[in-house]
Amino acid sequence: MSFSDYTTAVVTGASTGMGAAIAERLAKRGLTVHAFARNEERLKELADRTGSIPHAVDLTDTAAVAAELEGLEVDVLVNCAGVSRPGNILDSAESDIDELIDVNLRGLLQLTRLVLPGMVERDLGHIVNISSIAGTYNFYGHTVYHATKAAVHQISRQLRNDTVGKRIRVTEICPGRVETEIFGRNMGGTPEAMEEAWKTYYEGYESLTTGDIVDALDYAVDTPRHVNVGMLEIMPTFQVPGGLVFDRRD
């Protein structure tokens, strides 16, 4: 399948960053894009720019999401919405754990549950899950984020088993560091925090851009219908995963 096989897409986390860039590319490819996010103002800006249809909804409210999907035949579902929090399990608050699981995992599963049966019935569809190298490699901090992205990695593989024999394609895009607002939001979300995050995490680095992620998605969706691109791990050339620590205790 290529873009010519599809007419309608749903993109979550579409108000900013990778989600907004993906929504814009899919609209340029001729799809009717339904953009889901919580920020109504930014969704309106996206709609004005791309012609996408805004859905200001909290993905953790399954009933509200189901209502927004009523009557839609979704050909392409891009699960891009995600949140992060600094710190590891030793200093995570109860609310931090709940929000990361609710948005990154439960919201993705519930939305997929709502959309996938229609794809199976029509024998047509493509699900793209945006995960993270945090789901496949271990490094310090962000323990709950790692756990949710590891789950997204496994879900992406399992969906292929769930739909075997149907023309349903599932792609996981697994990025390293991408220039988005995520670090700034982790630092408080103020203009000052955004500036400090840029200086700390991006200035002087050759990070990925949202355009790099969009190009990967474009490739995966546009491959012939007999091809399923299962996983694309995309990292900056100067970023490597892993590393071994052996802590000596005297």
Summarize pLDDT for 107-142 with one digit per residue, the tens.
999 999 999 999 999 999 999 999 999 999 988 888
Distance set, CA 65 to CA 73, 117, 127, 155, 235 (Å): 14, 16, 17, 20, 32
Distance set, CA 170 to CA 24, 122, 129, 163 (Å): 21, 16, 8, 10
Residue 75 in contact with residue 96, Cβ under 8 Å? no
Residue 126 in contact with residue 168, Cβ under 8 Å? yes
Amino acid making up residue 193 = A
Residue reference for tokens 């996981």 = 172
Question: What is the pTM for the complete model shown?
Answer: 0.93
**Average pLDDT, integer, range 90-96:** 92
Residue reference for tokens 């995966």 = 220
Amino acid making up residue 26 = L
- Judged against a pLDDT cut of 80, whether residue 219 lies above it is answered with yes
Q: For residue 17, which of 158, 224, 202 has the smallest C-alpha distance?
A: 202
Catalytic residues: 145
Q: How many residues does the chain have?
A: 250
Taking domain 3-234, whether its CATH number is 3.40.50.970 is answered by: no
**Average pLDDT, integer, range 184-199:** 80
Rounded CA gap, 185 and 151, in Å? 23
Residues 6+ apart with CB under 8 A from 26: 9, 11, 33, 76, 78
Average pLDDT, the chain: 93
Residue 29, number of CB atoms within 10 A of its CB: 17
Q: For residue 166, which of 129, 130, 128, 117 has the smallest C-alpha distance?
A: 117
Band (pLDDT 50/70/90 cuts) for residue 200 is confident
- Judged against a pLDDT cut of 60, whether residue 1 lies above it is answered with no
pLDDT at position 188 is 76
Rounded CA gap, 214 and 190, in Å? 27
